[in-house]
Homo-oligomer: A and B are copies of this chain.
């Protein structure tokens, strides 16, 4: 443990210095670091569980006092099997394809003048996350795999667990650039790092949409994160109604607490009478509370939906339902109330499906599939860094690639711009070719 507490500013500066060295490590070196972290966690179950016990006890006191929910205390709790799944995750991140070093494009500008666009780490990533202690390990692992230095700020509820996990990670990676992972704990430190736009390249806040919004509003550092997930399913006039019932059921019931679950079901007027009674019955059997607009209420006996319902992410077994007169009206409703996360159209008409998908400005638009597929693992992105509702840099489910940027490497032979200017300007050839930038300084 450190003897004197460093300031958040010092920690960020150390991370920035480390990030430059980190960017030059090979995938093999980063992999070794990740396996060392997993091994060290395997060897420290006793210490970790003892520290976690303190957090859980404190959480249970606050639960008894009515300040915490049971769900929060459950999320806090580590166990032997939870620790095993954490180290499985770290080893699986280690074995992902290297997101760095790939030549994304190569272009010959002229003879012996070759331009390479090369994938590199972003630099320093600041992360602020919820109270699950496994989040700290996950974020550190994703950061290391992608060659980024990380600032880790976990929830205070998990402070004992986070402190021991951080210490284990730091010791296990003592041969990596010193300071590549930094822990901060105080709320004031969060405000301090929000100002450090010269040193932190990206912020990844996780938590409630209010919290993510707060971060976005209080920093000029780019933010990768998701605010709300108000997802829609539209049952079109041309839908296969049996398929529609199954998919709309899955989208709400399979796991209602997550951001890709459907919150509003839109039904085309032409099929509302044939579709809604059976659908609502099926939801009822699964304890889903359905709230409908006037036209829904004419067909089924449900509570009235208010204007607020259309703009609400329930995250629960609640669903708002509206009848719309056309594809255009469905698109209009989603544009007005949606959060640009995930929308799905259920229809047998490909033309109408394409129109829906093209017209909506959402990160993920689906045809005949449940909104719940909107997820890095299901999309096959490997490790999921998060889900972005922003449109810049990374959108929708984000894999390790979202923690990278690129650099241009130009290899010349004494080339001067004057050659390509003026009266006798030599033309550029600008031909794409299949080359890779070769790192002559690498031995392994």
Contacts and interface: CB of A to CB of B under 8 A. Distances in A.
Interface of A: 19-20, 23-24, 107, 109, 113, 115, 122-123, 197, 201-202, 216-217, 219-220, 222-223, 240, 243, 246-247, 249-250, 254-255, 335, 350-355, 357-359, 361-370, 372-374, 378-380, 390-393, 395-397, 405-418, 420-421, 428, 430, 438-442
A250 B380 contact: no
A416 B346 CA distance: 12
A190 to B, nearest CB: 16
A271 B105 CA distance: 35
A25 B429 CA distance: 32
Nearest to A374: B408
B440 A351 contact: yes
Contact of A414 (B219, B243, B392): B243
Contacts of A438: 354
B367 A412 contact: yes
A414 B372 CA distance: 12
Given A107-B380, A246-B416, 10 more contacts: A202-B392, A217-B220, A250-B416, A355-B441, A363-B407, A364-B407, A366-B410, A369-B415, A380-B430, A397-B408
A274 to B, nearest CB: 17
Given A217-B220, A405-B395, A407-B362, A413 B254 contact: no
A362 B438 CA distance: 18
Given A201-B392, A351-B440, A370 B407 contact: no
A365 B247 contact: no
A331 to B, nearest CB: 8
Contact of A254 (B365, B392, B409, B417): B417
Nearest to A380: B430
Contact of A247 (B219, B378, B414): B414
A359 B35 CA distance: 25
20 contacts: A19-B361, A20-B359, A109-B373, A115-B380, A122-B392, A123-B361, A216-B220, A220-B220, A222-B392, A243-B414, A246-B416, A247-B416, A249-B416, A255-B417, A362-B407, A373-B415, A373-B417, A380-B430, A391-B405, A395-B406
Given A335-B20, A364-B407, A408-B365, A414 B202 contact: no
A254 B419 CA distance: 10
Given A379-B107, A391-B122, A396-B408, A414 B216 contact: no
Contacts of A109: 373, 378-380
B418 A250 contact: yes
Contact of A416 (B370, B390, B412): B370
A23 B380 contact: no
Given A109-B379, A201-B392, A363-B407, A354 B414 contact: no
A413 B368 contact: yes
Contacts of A365: 407-410
A79 to B, nearest CB: 21
A354 B440 contact: yes
A161 to B, nearest CB: 28
10 shortest A-B CB distances, which residue pairs? A369-B412, A380-B430, A250-B416, A243-B414, A350-B440, A372-B417, A354-B441, A393-B393, A354-B440, A222-B392
A282 to B, nearest CB: 13
